[in-house]
Amino acid sequence: MIPDEIAGKYELRGTLGSGAMGTVYDALDRHIERRVAIKVVKRPPPGDPEGEEAHGRFRREAQAAGRLSHPNIVGVYDYGENADTAWIVMELVEGGSLKDRLDRKERFPVPEIVRVMDQVLAALAYSHGRGVVHRDIKPGNIMLAADGTVKMADFGIARLENSSMTQIGTVMGTPSYMAPEQLRGETVDARADIWAAGVMLYQLLTGEKPFEGGFSAVMHKALHTDPPPPSQLSVTAPRAFDAVISRALAKRPEDRYPTAAAFAEAIRAAAAAPVAEAPASGFAGAGRLPGLDTDATLVGSPAPAAAPPRPAAPPPAPTTTGRKAPIGLILGGVGAVVAAGIAAFVLLGTGGDGKQAEQQRLEQLRMAAEREAAERQRAAEAAQAPTQPTTPQQTTPPAPTGPSQAELELERRLRDEEARRAEAARQQQAADAARQQQQAAEAARQQHEAARQQQAAEEARRRAEQLQADLAAAGAALAATPCSLLSVNATPTSLTITGLVRRSDEAALRRQTAALGLPPDSVRLQFRSFDGPYCAALDLVKPYAAGPEAPPQASIIGTTPLAKGELLRMAVSTPPWPSQLYVSYLMQSGEVAHLVPSRPEAANAKVRLGDPAPSFAGWEVDEPYGTDLVLVFTSDRTIFTQRRPQVEKSEDYLRALSGALKAAQAGGGRVAVQAVVVETVPRR
């Protein structure tokens, strides 16, 4: 039902959405003819802690957004509440949320991502500057107006600079977008919003969240792992954004961007960064085959100047006597050897530093050898030219000439180069063998280390199992303490004891716990002490006591101790199966009142007891004052087959209860009990 305060000023035109927190209406402000959105929620009944907290968040949303006026933040115009309803009047944003577009698998081009993030971070910079930390930045809270303007909404869990609403140990937010310190329940500052904006940027770049899964999985990943860089998941994500994401999602707040403005500047710089070009295909010196350059170790190095052409030898003079000396054959053979050596030298390369200069010197030797050979050939031919008539017997062939000094030097250098290459090959083989030995040794070391770690893990597991067994045995011994109703929860690292113990036995129980010799930080005693004649009742129901986390779970609603005239009200949760609920009230006077004789309850029910009704005024506190005891039973069958008196003596009640519990146990029934101490005083 719409409150009169809203109906009198606004014309409702439709519903924009509804959920557990309330309804959002499309409305028109009649006075100034402005379209607005009105969020309306029901106020919780008095004494409902969860409802009061939700109402507080709703009021804080109005307070946080109301102190902000920015083009990228949804404006809040008014807030009101009455006895039944609370409402916020805010700016109407026509258009969906960023989440709607991501859910439709829309992909955003980089310029659009930069534009959206720039406006989001501008809004954050403004709110942070005014002492407001949003704490729930996510696509669902980013609205996109029809003209593309970004509007940040929902400051329901925002932390105000002068507010004490954030308590250490309280986790608030949406897990996938929560910073590590937020997941740990620590007090957060503006850098938690930087993290959430970084998650949103990652989602815009890749279409995926960096940390997926349930709450436990997301918490583990956010605290201990790094997501893949965006460029590995999306071909359209520029590599420059990898570093931006890495800093925004730093585990420690001090390693992130210090401000939203700095984050926005980094995004703009990454978008403007030049795209790294892939290496050019092919190789340097196109047109020459690899390995056939003048220096094979420097692919693409310029070839030395070509050798000048060998001068043409003049035609041999005709002779009529004797045979011509085989000078051309000798020189041709030497030239072939030299040419072959040069070719091999050029093809194989000289290797090492300064090889190009060495190659040039060898080329000069080759040219000098060719020039000397040409000179000797011309000299020999000139010597054979006839200067006077001779007889055949007078013709003497010239002595053959040997290789020149340049040719011998060239051959020597070629042999040295071959020896050097052989030595280099031997050294390479030795290096390969040493590397293989090193790799084998490293593999053996890693295998040994893995075996050691496995052995250490196994030993740690055995120690943990032994510790858990010791803790369980110690807890069982402590739970057997007379005149108590204690529950024990033993884990591999801790022992927690909850329940009730007689006040005179509390010190002895603590000494007994200390005498066990367990690590001090592994034992938590969370029991409550009492005074009163309840030992017989507690010892009777001890075998049926519910565990620390097991139903029934019962607690007093309101502030204790309860004063005269106040009502006793209780909250009870039932087991995950249909059960009968039975509640008895044991008084110091030695009497027992049956508050709830027996009534059926559904599985996993959340029950409130003691609330007034038209035919029930409630359980009012009156004298005698002191310590009373409430026993809350759940069972799969009625405990008492016959109705008990509304009030009876304790000994009669316990005698009948003992027989009823034994009968239920003999019939295979399930019974669980929770004890609650009730302290009453004349006044506070």
The pLDDT value recorded for residue 417 is: 82
Average pLDDT over residues 618-623: 90
Band of pLDDT at residue 414, cut at 50, 70 and 90: confident
* All domains of the chain in start order, with CATH: 4-91 (3.30.200.20), 98-161+171-272 (1.10.510.10), 534-681 (2.60.40)
The pLDDT value recorded for residue 278 is: 38
Contact 639, 656 (CB under 8 A): no
Is it the case that residue 225 has pLDDT exceeding 80? yes
The rounded distance, in Å, linking the Cα atoms of 111 and 117 is 10
Determine phi and psi for 676, rounding to 5 degrees: -130, 125
Contact 591, 574 (CB under 8 A): no
The pLDDT value recorded for residue 110 is: 95
Question: By C-alpha distance, which of 333, 201, 194 is closest to 261?
Answer: 194
Lowest average pLDDT, out of 174-188, 219-233, 433-447, 474-488, goes to 474-488
Lowest average pLDDT, out of 28-42, 364-378, 451-465, goes to 364-378
The pLDDT value recorded for residue 573 is: 95
Which tops the pLDDT comparison, 650 or 522?
650
The rounded distance, in Å, linking the Cα atoms of 105 and 315 is 88
Query: Which amino acid is located at 142 in the chain?
Result: I
The rounded distance, in Å, linking the Cα atoms of 466 and 474 is 12
Query: How would you class 297 by CB atoms within 10 Å of its CB: exposed for 0-12, middle for 13-18, buried for 19 or more?
Result: middle
Q: H or E stretch including 101? A: helix 98-103
Counting every residue written for the chain, the total comes to 684
Contact 673, 618 (CB under 8 A): no
Contact 27, 44 (CB under 8 A): no
The pLDDT value recorded for residue 1 is: 59
Tens of pLDDT along 571-581? 999 999 999 99
Ramachandran sector of residue 425 (left: φ over 0; alpha: ψ -120 to 50; beta: rest)? alpha
The rounded distance, in Å, linking the Cα atoms of 112 and 482 is 71
Q: Which residues of 428-449 are buried (b: 16+ CB within 10 A; e: fewer)?
A: eeeeeeeeeeeeeeeeeeeeee
The pLDDT value recorded for residue 643 is: 87
562-563 and 671-681 strand pairing: parallel
Question: By C-alpha distance, which of 608, 589, 614 is closest to 534?
Answer: 589
Q: Which contacts (CB < 8 Å, 24+ apart) does range 105-109 have? A: 105/207, 107/207, 107/236, 108/204, 109/236
**Strand, coil or helix: 406:** helix
Contact 531, 502 (CB under 8 A): yes
pTM: 0.42
Is it the case that residue 71 has pLDDT exceeding 60? yes
Which tops the pLDDT comparison, 388 or 161?
388
Which tops the pLDDT comparison, 521 or 250?
250
Per DSSP (E only), the strands in 134-222 are: 142-144, 150-152, 159-160
Average pLDDT over residues 166-179: 62
Lowest average pLDDT, out of 144-158, 352-366, 405-419, 447-461, goes to 352-366
The rounded distance, in Å, linking the Cα atoms of 153 and 151 is 6
Which tops the pLDDT comparison, 317 or 420?
420
Question: By C-alpha distance, which of 218, 395, 250, 231 is closest to 317?
Answer: 395
Is it the case that residue 646 has pLDDT exceeding 80? yes
The pLDDT value recorded for residue 358 is: 59
The pLDDT value recorded for residue 524 is: 82
Is it the case that residue 630 has pLDDT exceeding 90? yes
The rounded distance, in Å, linking the Cα atoms of 585 and 529 is 18
Say if residue 209 carries a ligand binding annotation: no
Band of pLDDT at residue 366, cut at 50, 70 and 90: low
Band of pLDDT at residue 75, cut at 50, 70 and 90: confident
Tell me the catalytic residues.
136
High-pLDDT (> 90) share of the chain, %: 35
The pLDDT value recorded for residue 476 is: 75
Band of pLDDT at residue 610, cut at 50, 70 and 90: very high
The pLDDT value recorded for residue 563 is: 93
The rounded distance, in Å, linking the Cα atoms of 418 and 423 is 9
Lowest average pLDDT, out of 15-29, 59-73, 232-246, 353-367, goes to 353-367
Lowest average pLDDT, out of 189-193, 442-446, 472-476, goes to 472-476
Is it the case that residue 470 has pLDDT exceeding 70? yes
User: What contacts 284, CB < 8 A, 6 or more positions away?
Assistant: 299, 300
Query: Which amino acid is located at 37 in the chain?
Result: A
In the structure encoding, which two tokens stand for residue 390, read together?
Answer: 């001779």
The pLDDT value recorded for residue 403 is: 64
Question: By C-alpha distance, which of 478, 488, 338, 352 is closest to 414?
Answer: 338
Is it the case that residue 172 has pLDDT exceeding 60? no
Mean pLDDT of the chain: 79
Any alpha helices (H) in 480-532, and if so which ranges?
A: 503-515
Average pLDDT over residues 625-653: 92
The pLDDT value recorded for residue 65 is: 63
Tens of pLDDT along 271-305? 998 765 433 333 333 333 333 333 333 333 343 44
Tens of pLDDT along 91-140? 898 888 999 999 999 999 999 999 999 999 999 999 899 888 888 899 99
Tens of pLDDT along 525-534? 887 888 889 9
The rounded distance, in Å, linking the Cα atoms of 266 and 368 is 66
Query: Which amino acid is located at 326 in the chain?
Result: P
The pLDDT value recorded for residue 624 is: 86
Which tops the pLDDT comparison, 244 or 378?
244
Question: By C-alpha distance, which of 101, 145, 142 is closest to 120?
Answer: 142
Rg (CA), the chain: 47
Is it the case that residue 228 has pLDDT exceeding 90? yes
> Which of the listed ranges 87-101, 242-256, 413-427, 469-483 does the model predict with the highest average pLDDT?
242-256
Contact 558, 504 (CB under 8 A): no
The pLDDT value recorded for residue 460 is: 82
The pLDDT value recorded for residue 579 is: 94
Average pLDDT over residues 333-352: 47
Question: By C-alpha distance, which of 560, 476, 467 is closest to 513?
Answer: 476
The rounded distance, in Å, linking the Cα atoms of 578 and 596 is 17
Proportion of the chain in helix, strand, coil states, percent, rounded to 5: 40, 20, 40
The rounded distance, in Å, linking the Cα atoms of 233 and 514 is 55
